[in-house]
Chains A and B, each alone.
Chain A
Amino acid sequence: MADHLLEVRDLSVRFHTAHGVVNAVNGISWHLDRGETLGILGESGSGKSVSASAIMNLIDTPPGEITSGQILFDGQDLLKATDEERRRLNGKRISMIFQDPLGHLNPVYPVGWQIAETAMAHGVSKTDAYDRALQLMQRVGIPDAKTAMHKYPHQFSGGQRQRLMIAMALVLKPDILIADEPTTALDVTVQAEVLSLLEELQEETGMGLLLITHDLGVVAEACDRAVVMEGGRIVESGTPRDLYHNAQHPYTQKLLAAAPGKGEMRSAENGRQPILEVRGLTKSYGSFDALRGAEFDLHAGETLAVVGESGSGKSTIARLMLRLEAASAGSVTWKGEDILKKSPRDMAKLRRQLQMVFQDPTQSLNPHMSIYDIISEAWVIHPDILPKAKWRARVAELLEQVGLLPEHALRYPHQFSGGQRQRIAIARALALEPELIICDEAVSALDVSIQAQVIALLGELRDRLGIAFIFIAHDLPVVRDFADRVLVMQRGRIVEQGTVRQIFEAPREAYTQRLLAAGLDADPDVQAERRAARQHLTQTTGAPA
């Protein structure tokens, strides 16, 4: 059985925490062959990263404890090897890259040194190590690599940082590369580029690639085989096609059902009066325009999605509309009055009609306030909405409306999961009975199945209460299912706008086409089509932006 490049057998790991023992993985087994890409698919808490940490000797004991299993590499059980033996393998034979390249690169050292360090840690001479670092930086597509070597991590973009991590991992041409959510924090177009870079490098070196992800699309795009994990166990495994078409386990089926981008597209009703008219909205920082001349309308009860890559100006629109930042020029007319010209007092009154839900519910909810206080705070600020005697009943009602229980009012934010916290944030927004809710990447940080639930909740509120939404997102499948109309933004400009059907079925702009082609779909067949479209676009319009 020593034929596999790497084999994990019956691995169990548990962690001793303040709340007792947590079994992170229970008797999982999988294997990886040379030149193969294996996906480990799972949501947060599924234990999908634990076996990788065990392979890299990154589990601190205590609090971690490996209770059973073997990790066979090169005829050796890594779990029986000494720390020094394992250190010699790390970076040389087995390498790893991580989700958040900014945090995983040391902020105070030049990137060239950090890449060379991998080689130097394994006895390569300094000059040789720097030569290799330079070559690898050129290979992964860092422009002007010679100068870039002396720069620091914060001076690169997110995509470039992930390329640098890849260079750092591959300096010694390892047999295995473990990539833990390597593209999760990246824009779709950048994600597609990084995945194809990994694929090219794999073809060149014949390394085995272990791809840990929560994204069915990444599995469909990049993996030869995948295992699906839930609650520390492998519930199913197979090729992406098998998993997609013949999922046996209910959890896999649930994940597939939750994957967005499959539902009926909404068709916008026309002829309604716009409640919001944005004209010539501009924000400049010196000579840099974060937003240039944005113009669009929003109708009552309508959902307008704003899509684009990071830095395209999506969030700037929301911040200017709510006057969290001052606009440089333009107007935002809400029901006939320009928001940007209102006095602070009038603006405070207006704010209750315009609410916002943010990306990270952990940070946007005050950890020291109970859920009751968080929701009822709105009525402290706007006392005319509800007399105090009715607060308790209304909080209970709102919690039920977002799918929580009335008794949750007495708890604190840390006692809830990420998805529940986002429901609380929505309940807080609803407390003011707004007519418009701006969701800034409100479901981006959530697991697929939770994301589907939150989207369903928002759709229900929209239909029942007639609330209009501005839905800022980088995730196109979610937008496709949820929005009526779409604005596509690039470098501070709206490059295309239209109904969701127009944008998704007949995009006019090359940028929109590229964005759509870069999106990942859970269906391997759709994914193959997109890949072809992407290659076609690259050939006809030159290298992607």
Chain B
Amino acid sequence: MRSMLGKRALSSFVSLFVLIVLVFFLSRLTGDPATLYLPVDASDEMRNNFREIHGLNDPVLTQFGRYLVDLVQLDFGDSLRKARPALEVVLEAFVWTLWLALITMLLVTVAAIVVGSIAAFNVGKPFDRFASVLSLIGASAPDFWIAIVGIVVFSVSFGWLPTSGTGTIWHWVLPISVLFIRPFGLILQIVRGSMITALGAAYVKTARAKGVRNRPIIFVHTLRNAMLPVITVIGDQAAALLNGAVVVETIFGFPGVGKLMIDSILQRDFNVILASIMVTAIAIFIMNILIDIAYALLDPRIRS
């Protein structure tokens, strides 16, 4: 198991490095920072000074080396707009996104497992059909539309919930509800299918022949086996949320990484963009390792 995790960590590091290289060269492709940062009427001398100060006149490889050294020291420079270290700005926003993602995924996981399992025991019956329709709607509904309709209905018409921002627990309800829908629909389908397969497995027959009661057959024998494919999808969906729920955060004015990234792109705050990319990449990298560990804990065949 340790060697497996080692291998996974190594391959994740390789992809992280590729990402680092890509980010560096792509940001060079967006044009000369001197043109972007300085006013249109800045003189050539000012531009040259700017390049000199920021080391933009050095050979590309030297710049790349410096960029790597800074990265290792977690030094992303200052945010140009907020005049604070970029990393600090990003981490502040990331905490919001992390909470949003964690709470949403927790609710999604519990709800999808419960509804999906019940649907699997009642294949073809009304509950199962209802759950299937529900999941199809959930998996295919566009979140920006639901977010806006949610605001119109619950905030504007009924006035039950705040339209945007943070402050009280009520501010979380709409963003979480909107983010909940799509992964719930998707994971529900996976749980259902996976449970149906596991319930038909030979070891379930053995358990019945042993005289094991229905409840342990479902929750001890079947669920753990059925969870294996589900975990992969949960990881996938959680990664998407960690990436910053760009649309939903923007609509609800939620101060997470997604909104920060959009704002920074509009304001050309490159250091913050870079720091956000790195922070979310590392978070996803850590989460993938957690998924691997969960997998190995659930399935002894992977451990050996």
Which A residues form the contact surface with B (CB < 8 A)?
Answer: 56-58, 87-92, 95-96, 98, 100, 103-108, 110, 117-118, 121-122, 152, 154-155, 165, 168-169
> Once the chains bind, are A56 and B212 in contact (CB under 8 Å)?
no
Given A106-B221, A107-B299: A89 in contact with B211 (beta carbons within 8 A):
yes
Which B residues between 194 and 221 are near A, CB-CB below 8 angstroms? 201-203, 205-213, 216, 221
B206 touches A121 (CB 8 A): no
Other A-B pairs beyond A90-B211, A110-B300, A154-B301, 5, CB < 8 Å:
A56-B209, A91-B209, A91-B210, A108-B225, A121-B210
Q: Mark B101-139, 1 if CB is under 8 A from A, else 0.
A: 000000000000000000000000000000000000000
A107 partner, pick from B208, B213, B301, beta carbons under 8 A: B301
List of B residues within 8 angstroms of A89 by Cβ: 211
In the assembled complex, how far is the CB of residue A51 from the closest CB belonging to chain B, in whole angstroms? 14
CB-based contact B209/A58 at 8 Å: yes
The answer to whether A108 and B206 touch across the interface, beta carbons within 8 angstroms, is: no
Q: Are A107 and B212 in contact (CB under 8 A)?
A: no
Indicate if the CB atoms of A98 and B211 lie closer than 8 Å.
no
Complex interface: chain B residues within 8 A of A107 (CB): 203, 225, 299-301
**Option from A57, A88, A92, A108 in Cβ contact (under 8 Å) with B208:** A57
Asked, given contacts A107-B225, A107-B299, A154-B301, whether A118 binds B205 with beta carbons under 8 Å apart, the answer is no
Show 20 A/B contacts (Cβ-Cβ < 8 Å), sorted by A: A58-B205, A58-B209, A87-B212, A90-B209, A90-B211, A91-B209, A91-B211, A96-B209, A104-B203, A106-B207, A106-B221, A117-B207, A117-B210, A121-B211, A121-B216, A154-B300, A154-B301, A165-B206, A168-B206, A168-B210
B207 to chain A, nearest CB (A): 7
Interface residues on B, range: 20 to 34
Contact B210 A106 (CB under 8 A): no
Contact B205 A117 (CB under 8 A): no
Chain A residues, CB < 8 A from B168: none
Cβ contact within 8 Å between A106 and B211: no
Dominant SS among interface residues on chain B: helix
CA A466 to CA B9, docked complex, whole Å:
58
CB pair A105–B209 under 8 Å, yes or no, is no
Among residues of B, the one whose C-beta sits closest to the C-beta of A103 is: B202
Looking at the assembled complex, report how far the CB atom of B287 sits from the nearest CB atom of chain A, in whole angstroms.
Answer: 23
B304 at the interface (CB under 8 A from A): yes
Residues of A within 8 A of B203 (CB): 103-107
Bitwise interface map of B from 147 to 170 toward A, beta carbon under 8 Å scored 1, else 0? 000000000000000000000000
Q: How far is the CA of A169 from the CA of B209 in the complex (A)?
A: 9
Instruction: Tell me which residues across on chain A come within 8 A of B210, comparing CB atoms.
Output: 90-91, 95, 117-118, 121, 168-169
A98 contacts which chain B residues (CB < 8 A)?
202, 205-206
B81: Cβ under 8 A from any A Cβ: no
Closest 5 A/B residue pairs (Cβ) = A91-B211, A90-B211, A103-B202, A91-B210, A106-B203
Closest chain A residue to B206, Cβ basis: A104
Tell me the bound Cα distance from A165 to B209 in angstroms: 11
On chain B, the residues within 8 Å of A87 by CB distance are 211-213
